[in-house]
Amino acid sequence: MSEDSKSRLRRLLGDEGLSKLSASYVAVIGLGGVGSACAEALVRGGVGRFLFVDKDRVEPSNINRQVIAFISTVGQRKVDVMRNMAADINPKAQVQVLDAFVLEENIAELLEPFGHPDYIVDAVDTLTAKAAIAQYANSREIPLISSMGMANRSDPTKLVFADLFETKGCPFCREMRKIARDRGVRNMQVLYSTEKPAKVKPQEGAPRRERTELGTHSYMPPIAGQMMAGYVIQECIRTESPNPCTLS
């Protein structure tokens, strides 16, 4: 019997499960170490429709942890590299991209034209952008999974899914909870690390925006992204009927 790219999935999920995933629409906001790994796993995992959102271009410093980062892709828009990778994995996947920063003041304007996804993956870096994404998802009843800080962590076994307001021991989550409460965010499912972050001294003379006090292992962000993809895939399979909206 000849096999195709979905043969191994079909053994686990059957045709019904594959059909649900193929009809599911996921927006991945942020294509860094977490987001790019999550997007790749979702494409390989059978999800059929995507919106990829990121404003950045691939930089040399991305190569240690981002699945879209190679010597050959440095300087290219992340959304373009991710779209090309998705097409190379599954040519039938419907992919749209948005080369933009998601901010509190523009999120609805940016995302509304693309319809309402079945799931939103938040893999952006900034707290205010995360809060804006959570507000948007809550107001439209779109399920959301959000990554918290992976920098300065080393132990992937300490990664845990939880409601933001039940997280413990994570400085990033603590700051996120304050902003979420101020913005009236009701609930926010997150993936965070219970590991105490390592202390890294900033490089002397480096601009503050470079955040040289943040170090990252090659494996931590991709593992987090893979875990989030697994979370989303399981949720999409459980859904009775995928969101009927179509990509424009």
Q: Is residue 1 part of a domain?
A: no
pTM of this prediction? 0.91
Q: Coil, strand, or helix at residue 148?
A: coil
Identify whether the C-beta of residue 176 lies closer than 8 Å to the C-beta of residue 166: no
Q: Is residue 4 part of a domain?
A: no
- Domain with 124 in it: what CATH number? 3.40.50.720
Nearest Cα to Cα of residue 79 among 63, 64, 65, 95: 95
* Token representation of residue 89: 């994995």
State the total domains in the chain.
Answer: 1
What does the alpha-carbon distance between residue 80 and residue 74 come to, in Å, rounded to a whole number?
A: 12
- pLDDT for the residue numbered 149: 85
Instruction: Give the containing element (helix H, strand E) for 192.
Output: strand 189-193
Q: Is residue 220 part of a domain?
A: yes
Q: Which residues contact 157 (CB under 8 A, 6 or more apart)?
A: none
- The 10s digit of each residue's pLDDT in 183-218 is 999 889 999 999 998 888 776 655 655 566 788 999
Q: Is residue 243 part of a domain?
A: no
Q: Is residue 171 part of a domain?
A: yes
Q: Regarding beta strands 119-122 and 189-193, do their DSSP bridges make them parallel or antiparallel, or are they unpaired? A: unpaired
* Token representation of residue 239: 């859904």
Alpha carbon of residue 29 to chain centroid: 6
Q: Which residues contact 178 (CB under 8 A, 6 or more apart)?
A: none
Measured from the Cβ of residue 213, the count of other Cβ atoms closer than 10 Å reads: 14
* Token representation of residue 100: 């933009």
- pLDDT for the residue numbered 61: 94
pLDDT < 50 regions, the chain = 241-248
Residue span of the structural domain in which 33 resides: 12-238
Q: Is residue 31 part of a domain?
A: yes
Backbone angles phi and psi of 234, in degrees to 5 = -65, -40
Q: Is residue 244 part of a domain?
A: no
Q: Is residue 248 part of a domain?
A: no
